[in-house]
Structure formats: C-alpha cells, structure tokens
Structure 1
Amino acid sequence: MRKQLFLSVCLLGFLTFSAAQKKEITLEEIWGGEFRTEYMDVLRSMNNGTQYTILNFDRSAHSSSLDKYDYKTLQKVETIVASSNTVPYFSSYSFSDDESKVLLATEVEPIFRRSRLGIYYVYDIATKDLVKISEEKIQEPTLSPDGSKLAYVKDNNMYLLDLTSKSTKQLTTDGSKGTIINGVTDWVYEEEFGFVRAFEWNSDGTKIAFLRFDETDVPHFSMDVYGSNLYPFQHEFKYPKAGENNSLVTLHMLDVASGAVSDVDLGSPYYIPRIKWMNNPNDLSVQTLNRHQDDLKLIAVSAKDNSTSLLLEETDAAYVDVDDDLTFLADDSFIWTSEANGYNHLYLYDRNGKLKNQITDGSWEVTSYYGYDKKHDRIFYQSVENGSINRDVYSISTKGKKKKRLTTKEGTNSASFSTDFTYFINTFSSSETPYEFTLHSASDGKLVKSIKDNSALASKLAGYEVTPKEFSTININGYDLNMYMIKPADFDPNKKYPLFMFQYSGPGSQQVANRWMGTNDYWHQMLASQGYIVACVDGRGTGLKGRDFKKITQKELGKYEVEDQIAAAKKLSELPYIDEERTGIWGWSYGGFMSTNCILKGNDVFEMAIAVAPVTSWRFYDTVYTERYMQTPQENPSGYDDNSPFNYPELLKGKYLLVHGSGDDNVHVQNTMRMIEALVQANKQFDWAIYPDKNHGISGGNTRLHLYTKMTNFIKENL
C-alpha cells in the first residue's frame, strides 16, 4: 500500500460552481489589475490615541490633503493641510514629536530601494506658516522633538535649519560622492540593514548622534544604462561584493547648541547597524557587529563625555539577526528579542543589561513586536503559536503573565495599534479569504467596527477557475516540511499531470503561508486551469520553525535547500496522478539560484526550470547578506563554489530559461552573463531574455505581462 504522503491537509472552501461554468484567469487580467486587492490607506496614529491621519490624493486635480479621522467612527474630523496656491502638492509627510509641525515632501525621486531625494517644506499647524528647507533636493529631513529645528543631509553632509531664525548651519564638511557619507547610509547598509537615515535626535533635542561612512576603499560597480538616447551611459556606485572592503563606519555626537562634533570610541566595530536614544537624553544605545555577524554587542554611550559601557552581548554559532524591536521603558529597562533558546522570543532586561525575565516562551516564534503599553503593562506581538503557516496577535505582561490571544480567525493576522494602545486595526487574510480590515479594542480584541473588505473581489473570483491550496506537510530528509499544492479544477486522480514547483528558499523566508493570493498565485491558478499541478515546499533554511531549522544551511547556501527540492520532487512524482517525466521548477532571485541548481544537480528529476534574476555565484553578491550566511570567499571557498551553478554547466539536460534585468543593482546581470558563458562553453542549449534597464523587480509598462507570457509559453512547450 502506498505510504500516505500528505498530513493535516486543509481543504479550503470556495464557491462551488462547476468548472465548465467558470472562466480561466488570463495573464492580461493579472497584469491589467483585474484582481487588484483593496487595501487600507496608510495611516498614522495621533498622540491622543483616538485619532489618526491619512494622506489623501486627487490624481485628476493633482492635489493632496492631510486629513484627520476618528478611530471610533472612522469619520473625517478635519483637514490639517491641503495643497493649494500657497502649499505645493505633497506626496508624503511626517510630524514633529509634539505634532505642532508637519514635514511635507515634494518632487521626490528614488535613489536606491529606500533612499529618496526631494524638496521639503515645514508647515506650522497653528500659524499656517510654510518654510522651504532648501532650494536643492535633500535627504532624510527630520524635525527635532519640539519642532523648532530640523536636521537633513545634502550632498553627503549634514545641515541644521533653525525654524525660528530661518538660519541654516552646515554641520559637516568632508562629505563627497564615493568617499565620505555623513548622516545617511551607504548602498549595502540601506539594502541589507534596512535603513537610510543614520542620525537620531535625543529626547530633548540637545544632541544628534550620527554615523559617518568612509567608502573610499569600497570597490566601484558600474551598470550600462541604455535609455532612449544615442549613447548609453554608465551608472556607478560603491558595492562591496563578498570578501571585499566595506565602508569604515564611525559614530559621532553633535552638540546642537555649539555645533561641535565629537567622536565616540566604540573599539572599531565592523558594522554599526543600529543607533537608538534611550528616554534619558544623555544615554544612547548602539548595536555593533563583527564581520561574521555572529557577535552582537549592545553598548550604552553617555552623551556627557562619550564614555561607553557594554549592556548586552549575544553570540551565535551561525549569525545574530538585527531588528528594530529594542524598546526602552520609562526607567530605560528594555525589551529585546533573541533566538537564544532556539526560537525567537521576547526578553526583559534592566537598565544595566541584567536579564530580569524571559517574556514569551515555547517551540514557536515571535514574528513581529508591536510595542509596549506602559499604562497597562502590556506587550503586543504577533506569533506563529497557532501553527507555523498562521499568524495571530497577542498581548502579554512584561513578566510573561496574562497572555491573551486578540485575533480569532485562522490565517494571517497583523495589527496596527493606536499610539495609546486603545485600538488596533487588524489586517486579516487566508488562502480562502481576501484581505479584511477591522477595528478592535486592544484590551480584549473585541471587534469595534468593520472597515473594509474585498467581498467584491471574492464575488468576481467566484466566476473564475480558482481552486484551493491544499496545505500539508511532506517528510523529506527527516523533516516535516510545509507544503501546498494547487490542482486543476477538473482534477481526476486517475489521470497524470505535469508537476510545476515554485519556491524561494532563502534563509528565514516563508512561501507556504495561510494568506491571500499574490500575483504569482493568480498565475499558478491559471497554470492549474491549463492542466498543471503547482506545488511549493519550504525546505530547510526557511523560517519560523526555530533557529536550528533556519540556520542549518550556514556556510552552505544552496546545498540542503537543493537536496530538499530534489527529494520533494521525487516523492511527489510517486503519486499516481503525477507524471514523473514532466517536472519543472521556477523561482526568482534566491529562488532562481535554487531552480538553476535543481535542474543541474537534479537533472534526472527535473525536465524544465525557469530562473528569474538568479544569483549564480555568491561571490558576486554583497558583503552583509552573503557573509552573514557564508563567511568570506577567502575563508569558505568550497561553500561558495560547490553550490555555484556555473561551475557545473555540463550537468544540464532539461530545458532552461534564464531571465534578468540589465539594470539590476541588487543581483547584478553579471550573474546571468557568467551563467550564459559557462553554458555556451559547455555547448548546452538554453533560452534566455534580458530586460533592458529593468531592476530586480523587472517591471514597468508591459514588462511583467511580457515576462509572464514568455514563461507561460516556455512551460507549455517544455512541460
């Protein structure tokens, strides 16, 4: 008797129309926005906790307004500021801490993934005065806590604007492109540590701590930009590839009154991924990392004399994650997250760094930390306590008592809390329910009001061939791996179907989750309608199943993950309704690295693979990400090369499609070009496509429609 493969299958209910009555999803509909999901407007909770603000746009009139709403009624209370003859059209905003002034952004243009340049104004709510900060475009303008001053970066130097006297003072003078950066991050910090503004005001506005990056010795990277003119040009920036020089990063303290800048001696740390002031205006916290990122220190700095003391040190045999969960309570005791006990949990330390107690505990992960309600001594967080493919919102005391589950629906729940933690807006979805937005009481999770849902989308999809994801686990290499499968609407267990696998597989990632569909899911539904079975398996190295499961791939990216996908494909091919002669796999970015390796190392299993924007050698990727998992190429050459697909192109037997954007500043097109050259020299035939000037997302205009049409045709012809 065949061994039972699927465990705990969740068959999710859709409206039951016969397949013959339903339409098949088309690529034109997917990329034309036919199934666009309605989302909540981005809101910011006001200090009073009972109101929030939303930035509203009238595209036809090219106007914008910042409006205030009431949580309880969800009704608009007033317009704080709107574009007019005197106020320019603005596309984003931020308040001073006391909400007396609003910073308005205009003429914004992107630099990299998170960084922006723009023309900015300060609007005084009481007087309605409007001050233009600079005639030139600047970065990261930030108001002081009382709104009287504003710091910003222009041309890699820091400036201070006094809003009372309207005078501007240049704070640093050594900044220049390609060498010194003051107050904002370099490319690799922005991409991998996830922040741009590298300066912070203290709580009383008397000091600014900032980072200085010396990227003089970081190698240049250049990309051809083809554009629409007669000659292409080169876009150059500093990009440290694995094993190469990073920026030298140092911490400095600015005294606002005198303008004096002093150095803070942290003992030459390799990375400074976070700085954060405590509640005491004289105390700054700094997180430092060594190059291997397996030793993280939390350091206290006194702004009085720049002296330092060690608050906490965390080490790991693999690496220590950096996050934004650090929260200082009124007495500067602090909340910290750590994987020290094998799962990501919350801890409470006193102001001197002594552990008071572990707050959450169990063989499950805290996935988001939302904040601390000091009035009621409650911490709010999200976790996978209700199964690793689900998310729920909880509250708990700092002593780890009085835990309360605040969400009730099984699926993915996330929360946005009012400033005083009176309310939260819950975003819920599952694989059978599109996004729903509801207002709840934070004390008990009780529903206050429904805000928005996607019932119109659900009704529309009732007329299409959409089949439920079947969630299960599959035992591979001794592990129960999370999996989903999508079958054709007219599935017949007596027929044989081609198997098309999708995965990402990067460290700590998750694709098998009980949440609503994204664009790839709609495409997979379309493929299922055309007679394919689509499956996704989260193998070893993915997240939310504990530290050891996630970090098993250390120093061997692409080894265990590939073994798991190959083994999963073999096991799925044993099913009576899978045609073992027609197995394909695809992925994007890390997933493209994986699908490329799978068709080579699994050439007796996979007949077809598609790789979009793949890494083909970790030697080409950036220092921070790559060395976190691999150490340097000099230290771990076999880890880099044994799993680099262009080192064994001769293994290719099946059909292979390779796709990249030439303007990818993240996974450089160099990866694909080296793969192509290796395949050519091995005399292996393959298909490929380069999208001119497109970045890692390969989008814009008809680009996505063209790409997915190409991939669909490739599947039809070769699977």
Structure 2
Amino acid sequence: MFRLSLTFLFLALPAAALAQGTAADYERAAKLGALVRDKVVRAKVEPHWYDKDTKFWYHNDLVAGKKEFVVVDVIKGTREVVAEVDLPKGASELPAAGPRQRRPRQDRGPRAESPDGAWTAFVKDHNIWLRERAGGAETQLSKNGSAGDSYTGAFFWSPDSKKIVAIRRTPGGDRRVTLVESAPKDQLQPKTSTYFYLKPGDPIPQPKPHLFDASAKKEIPVDDALFQNPWDVSFEHWAPDSSRFLFFYNQRGHGVARVVALDAATGKAEAVVNEECKTFFDYTNKLYLQYFDGTGELLWMSERDGWNHLYLIDAKTGTVKTQITKGKWVVRGVDRVDVAAREVWFRAVGIDPAQDPYHVHFCKVKFDGTGLVRLTTGDGTHTVQYSPDRKYLIDTYSRADLPPVTELRNAADGKLVRELERADWSALLKAGWKAPERFAAKGRDGETDIYGLIFRPTNFDPKKKYPVIEDIYAGPHDHHVPKEFRALHRNAQSIAELGFVVVRMDGMGTNWRSKAFHDVCWKNLGDSGFPDRIAWIKAAAAKYPQLDLAKGVGIYGGSAGGQSSTRAVLAFGDFYKVAVSDCGCHDNRMDKVWWNEMWMSWPVGPHYAEQSNVTQAHKLKGKLMLVVGELDHNVDPASTMQVANALIKADKDFDLLIIPGAGHGSAETPYGSRRRMDFFVRNLLGAEPRGK
C-alpha cells in the first residue's frame, strides 16, 4: 500500500515540489524502514540436522506470511520442498553453531587447590598462604605483599603440585568521571553520578607472576627484566612435566609482546617469542596463542612479515618451524585447531585478489603450511555453519549489492554440493529501493585501492547536482564499510533522501589490510585517512558529474567518527565545509586508556596535543555542529565541552547541541538525527528544512 501511494506521490508532485530538502524528502526518509521491511525472502538458512547428520531441514519465510519447508540430503545432494517436516526422534532442533573466535587455554585457569589435593592456596593480609588439607595447618608462603602491592588470588599450580605461580598486582589510578543528569525522571533536582574511568597516562594495574616452591615453602626469585612494565599478563600455562611456566606479556605502549618462560627450578626467564614493533602490536584483534604440549610447539599470530599470519613455533627454542600462512592477505581469525590432524581452520580476508580485499573467506591449512583449502569461493563476504560432524558446511555470502546466496559445501575440499537458496529481492527492487554502489579509487600514494560505498536517493535524477556528505568512522580497531547485504543503511540512506549523495570508505589507518596500511594511524589519529578519503571522493566526482563538490563536502560521525568529522573542518577545511560531530573523543588524553594508548602509544607525549581538536580549534573553517549527551559513559562529555570552550576563546561560530539524559550516540536519537539532517539541508543545500 505504501509503495503505491509513494509512487503516486512522485508522479503527482509538480517539479518545483521535488526540490531537495522538502517535506516530501523528509517523509520519504522517515518511511525507509517500512519501505524495505520483509521485502527480501530466502535469505537465511537455519539447519536442523538429523539421520546421523546426513540430512537437515529448514524453512523459508515467504511473502504474505507463507512458509516453505525444505529437506536436504547431503549424501545425495538433493533439495526437496515438502509440505511439512516429519522430524525423527532425536533430531537437532537448533542450527549447528557457527565459528567463533576463541583464545584457547589448555589449563583450567587459576585454581586454589593443588592437583594432588594436598594444599589449598589463599590470600590473607595481602600475602599467599597454604592450608594443608590433612590437619588444616596454615603456612605463610610470601612475605612481600602489601596493601599497595597485593596478591590477587590467581594461582597456577604445577602439574606435580610442587610449584605454584601467583600473580601480584600493583593497583592503578582511581580516576573518576562525574556526570550531571540535569532533568532526571524521578525528581526535580539534578543528580550526579561517578564512574571509574582511566585515561591515557594514568597509572594502571600492573600484574606480575611470582614463583614459589610449595614443598620448600619459599619463593624462587625471578628476574622481571623481560616483563617490567606490563599492560597485561595472560595465557598462563605450565609445561606438562612441570619444568617451565609460560605466559604472555603485553608491554604498556603495545610495542613489545612476548611469550615468556620461567624455569621452575631456577626462576630464570627467557623469551620464547619476542615481538618488538616499531609501531604497535594489535593485541585487541591479532593475538592468538595456543600451546601444543604433546609436540612442544605453539601456534602464534604475527604481522612480522607485513601481513597478519600464523606461525608454528618451537616452544623450547622459540625457533619458527613453519610460517603456516603467507601472502599479501590477512588471517582474520582462527576458528578451530585440529591437533590430531595438525590442521588450522581460519578466516581470511584479501585471499582472493579478484575480490574486494575485505571479503571474509573460510579456509583450512596444515601445520606445515601445505594443503591450503578455500572452503568458500563466492564473490562476497561469507559466514558459515558446520554440520555437527563438521563434514559439511552451509555457506552464506552476500555483498552490499547482492542479497544472500546460500550453498552446501563439502568441508573436506570445499567443493560445492549444491546451491540451497538465492535470496529473492524482487519486491525490494519493485518498491523503488536501490543498492549502494561499490566504488574503489586510489588513495594518497596513487597505488593503494581504497574501497567504499556510494548512496544515492531513491528518486535520484542523473540530470541534477547533489552535494556530497561523508559518513565517517575511522577507528583503527576495524574496517567500517559494510560488506554484507543490508536492505537498509539507515543513516546514510536517510540523509541521501534529502537530496544528497552520501559516501563511506575505509582510508589508511583502519584495520585488516597490510601492516603498513594500518600503521598510518600510529600516533596519528588526527589523520583519519583524510588524504585517501579526499582522493576517493574526487575520483567519484570525476566519474559521476552529479556529485557536486563546488560548495564543499559535508561530513558526520560519532565517537571516533565525531573526533574525525571535527578534524575534517579544522585540518581539511578547504575541502570539508559542513560537519556534525557526535560524542567525539576530541582529545585522546580525555578518552579511555586502552583504546587511545593502543594507537597513540605510551607515554603521553606532544603528539597527543598535536592531534587534539581542542588545540586545533582556532583553525575552524566552515560550519560545525557539536552534539553530546550529558550521560555519556563511553566518552567523557567534557571532551566535547572543551572543544566548545576552545572555539569560544577563538571567537568561532558553531552550534552546540547538548541532549539531556542521553548517553553515547545522542545524534542517533530522533531529535538528534533530525537536527543533524536539518543542519546539512541549511548549510549544504541552502534551504530551510521541509520548506519552512
């Protein structure tokens, strides 16, 4: 019904009423959700396995509330539509679980009781004590614990119950952020609240392992030269013969990552794996460590050759036995390690040079680097579901311009058994929906391809000109342009409906390309990939004359995108002329410690101030609206207010929208979203919103 009336509206309105930023444009933007709802069918397969995992059934939700039941025989490779499913007793009622990133721990983790059951370790008066199970006698094992440097209760017993490693941790700072809720729902007067929030440069908790001889009731001194300044200590593991204790050490500043081994007899520390990076070790995404006790090996993930790959390492000597994966592509994550078969199942991006390098594919390979099998091949980004016996996989792939395709594949060799479903989007296209265009152009170096999307209004007229607005998020922890099919990219498409072309791309400094591509962000978050973004937008405008750059480009983003969008009109104000910045972490010294020290490093140096929107506020060109929620628990709202203060001191005109009671992402509230749209209509289209 809506589709018919909308079509009539387009035909009936006079040409003057089709000007950009009109009430009709706002109405169309508001109804996008209804326009696309339930318009794509056959897009999802949830298998229910039975008959010893040789068959499964699923159902398709079709138009008008209809359902279709399908039975698949994986041995015969048949697919049959049935009226109903006669499910045998004992059949699985749930789809097989898909892969998930795991960080395996062969040990059970910290435990107070010794493996032989003779002792229980506990903390009293900040020190470690042992309680004898037979008789209950208690013995103080450590003497150096104190209120400012206490043992934590994390104990790691050797398999022979003779040695114990305990973690002693110095406390960090106690910085708190205070918020004012100006209009609480339950009372007239404002409320204040505080929450724990460490910032870059603050003292952080520092855990260190200490080794004890439980049988002799004494500490074995350990030289901590290899782990003096920990950000974290984890992946604790005893060798099965109790000869060594191993752990992962991540140094503050993230330039050093080690697997350290402590000799159980002498306390001597050795680096089994030593990664010393000139920039950063991406522990948040690219850390994988698994010990193989039976063969004295470990599996390690590293970017040491410039790309994120897997290595098999001799756990005794630290020698690389095999670089398991290699090439100008990236391991995205490990899904499964089959120790018996000496095989790794993993996700990869960029492995198919003919496809978008961000497309996720599933693969497996032998520990010796041979037998690489791509389990997925279709031109899109993939998700998979394995059969319970892992002999088959159901592969679903899609792109921004391709609805999901689902296939049944053999997990032994990746060969296609049969196609199961190809999503039907005919109703979506008939309703007037248009897919965003995938577009690639060279970045700042003239060589590297930058990938993004172009969103046009559904009533796009190739004879008209459209100002360009960039939707930016440049956080280095990931890439941010959606690769999978979505019927609705709400923000981008809604803003485009007002008479704009909206673009989104991943510039240098974002994740999941080469190490060099990623390193651009290091101590340089203000860059935000802008040289690549500007080159990309200019290339798009050169190809499509409808993209109008004459009045400058608009830009918006939230959180790290809020930081970047403000930076655009401070540092690149000759190109970007209108910006809306929501809940921005405008000064990296004001934001959470882990995220900012990850990319900006430690200690805090002059580069933090150089990257700050506060120190650069006097360079503002064009129009800027700052948006912030007063109850933001993610980014300190004071970060936005400090930019506002600096702009006032520099006598710069700007808009400031504070939303009472709102948290992080306040521009995504209905009011914040509407104000953002209005700001672009006024300042890029030169019109009053909704024809006021």
* TM more than 0.5: yes
Aligned to 1:56: none
Aligned to 1:565: 533
After superposition, the C-alpha distances for 1:121-179 in whole angstroms (9 at most, x for unaligned) are xxxxxxxxxxxxxxxxxxx9999999x9xx9999x99999x9x9xx9x9x9999x9x97
d(CA) in 2 for partners of 1:307, 1:31: 66
d(CA) in 2 for partners of 1:42, 1:704: 37
Provide closer, same or farther for how the CA distance between residues 261 and 485 of structure 1 changes in structure 2, counting only shifts above 3 A. Answer: farther
3-state SS, counterpart of residue 645 of structure 1: coil
How far is the alpha carbon of 1:338 from its aligned partner? 0.9
After superposition, the C-alpha distances for 1:222-249 in whole angstroms (9 at most, x for unaligned) are 222525444513323251x222322222
3-state SS, counterpart of residue 676 of structure 1: helix
How far is the alpha carbon of 1:281 from its aligned partner? 7.3
> Computing the radius of gyration over CA atoms, which structure comes out larger, 1 or 2?
2
How far is the alpha carbon of 1:698 from its aligned partner? 4.7
Match of 1:365 among 330, 334, 337: 330
d(CA) in 2 for partners of 1:621, 1:42: 44
Aligned to 2:517: 549
1:395 aligns with 2:356: no
Match of 2:478 among 481, 505, 509: 509
How far is the alpha carbon of 1:263 from its aligned partner? 8.6
Match of 2:303 among 339, 354, 358: 339
Match of 1:223 among 173, 178, 181: 178
d(CA) in 2 for partners of 1:318, 1:236: 31
1:611 aligns with 2:581: yes
Match of 2:312 among 345, 348, 372: 348
How far is the alpha carbon of 1:710 from its aligned partner? 2.8
How far is the alpha carbon of 1:707 from its aligned partner? 3.0
Match of 1:492 among 461, 464, 467: 461
Provide closer, same or farther for how the CA distance between residues 372 and 563 of structure 1 changes in structure 2, counting only shifts above 3 A. Answer: same
Match of 1:664 among 625, 632, 636: 632
Provide closer, same or farther for how the CA distance between residues 223 and 335 of structure 1 changes in structure 2, counting only shifts above 3 A. Answer: same
3-state SS, counterpart of residue 713 of structure 1: helix
Alignment of 1:234-633 (within 5 A): 234-239=193-198, 241-251=199-209, 266-267=224-225, 268-271=227-230, 272-277=232-237, 280=240, 282=242, 284-301=245-262, 308-322=269-283, 323-329=286-292, 330-352=294-316, 353-384=318-349, 385-386=351-352, 387-415=356-384, 421-422=390-391, 424=393, 426=395, 428-433=397-402, 441-445=410-414, 458=425, 461-462=428-429, 464-478=431-445, 479-507=448-476, 509-517=478-486, 521-559=489-527, 561-574=529-542, 575-580=544-549, 581-632=551-602
d(CA) in 2 for partners of 1:328, 1:649: 50
d(CA) in 2 for partners of 1:251, 1:437: 49
Letter in 2 for 1:706: Y
Q: Which runs of 5+ in 1 are unaligned?
A: 1-15, 52-70, 81-96, 99-139, 185-197
How far is the alpha carbon of 1:669 from its aligned partner? 0.9
How far is the alpha carbon of 1:658 from its aligned partner? 1.5
Letter in 2 for 1:378: E
Provide closer, same or farther for how the CA distance between residues 608 and 443 of structure 1 changes in structure 2, counting only shifts above 3 A. Answer: same
d(CA) in 2 for partners of 1:625, 1:231: 31
Identical aligned residues as a percent? 24
8 Å Cα contact 2:508-2:518 kept in structure 1: yes
Aligned to 2:615: 647
Provide closer, same or farther for how the CA distance between residues 577 and 652 of structure 1 changes in structure 2, counting only shifts above 3 A. Answer: same
d(CA) in 2 for partners of 1:157, 1:417: 48
Q: Which segment is superposed worse, 361-370 or 256-265? A: 256-265
TM-score for the superposition, normalised by structure 1: 0.69
After superposition, the C-alpha distances for 1:476-524 in whole angstroms (9 at most, x for unaligned) are 32243222212233433332111111121222531235212386x2332
After superposition, the C-alpha distances for 1:205-231 in whole angstroms (9 at most, x for unaligned) are 999866454325x14122225254445
8 Å Cα contact 1:288-1:297 kept in structure 2: yes
Provide closer, same or farther for how the CA distance between residues 555 and 214 of structure 1 changes in structure 2, counting only shifts above 3 A. Answer: same
How far is the alpha carbon of 1:269 from its aligned partner? 2.8
d(CA) in 2 for partners of 1:304, 1:22: 83
Alignment of 1:108-257 (within 5 A): 211-216=167-172, 218-224=173-179, 226=181, 227=184, 228-229=186-187, 230-239=189-198, 241-251=199-209
8 Å Cα contact 2:396-2:405 kept in structure 1: yes
How far is the alpha carbon of 1:563 from its aligned partner? 3.3
d(CA) in 2 for partners of 1:394, 1:172: 49
3-state SS, counterpart of residue 576 of structure 2: coil
How far is the alpha carbon of 1:618 from its aligned partner? 1.5
Provide closer, same or farther for how the CA distance between residues 208 and 35 of structure 1 changes in structure 2, counting only shifts above 3 A. Answer: farther
8 Å Cα contact 2:177-2:636 kept in structure 1: no
d(CA) in 2 for partners of 1:141, 1:278: 11
Provide closer, same or farther for how the CA distance between residues 232 and 362 of structure 1 changes in structure 2, counting only shifts above 3 A. Answer: same
After superposition, the C-alpha distances for 1:585-606 in whole angstroms (9 at most, x for unaligned) are 1112221111101112222222
Aligned to 2:69: none
3-state SS, counterpart of residue 254 of structure 2: coil
Provide closer, same or farther for how the CA distance between residues 677 and 486 of structure 1 changes in structure 2, counting only shifts above 3 A. Answer: same
How far is the alpha carbon of 1:308 from its aligned partner? 3.6
Provide closer, same or farther for how the CA distance between residues 513 and 244 of structure 1 changes in structure 2, counting only shifts above 3 A. Answer: same
d(CA) in 2 for partners of 1:713, 1:557: 29
How far is the alpha carbon of 1:313 from its aligned partner? 0.5
8 Å Cα contact 2:36-2:487 kept in structure 1: no
d(CA) in 2 for partners of 1:490, 1:689: 31
How far is the alpha carbon of 1:318 from its aligned partner? 0.8
3-state SS, counterpart of residue 670 of structure 2: helix
Q: Which segment is superposed worse, 428-437 or 320-329? A: 428-437
After superposition, the C-alpha distances for 1:261-290 in whole angstroms (9 at most, x for unaligned) are 999664343222532436737454312133
Aligned to 1:132: none
d(CA) in 2 for partners of 1:28, 1:152: 63
3-state SS, counterpart of residue 674 of structure 1: helix
Aligned to 2:65: none
How far is the alpha carbon of 1:357 from its aligned partner? 1.3
How far is the alpha carbon of 1:348 from its aligned partner? 0.9
Compute the RMSD of aligned alpha carbons.
Answer: 5.3
8 Å Cα contact 2:248-2:259 kept in structure 1: yes
Aligned to 1:689: 657
3-state SS, counterpart of residue 564 of structure 1: helix
How far is the alpha carbon of 1:541 from its aligned partner? 1.0
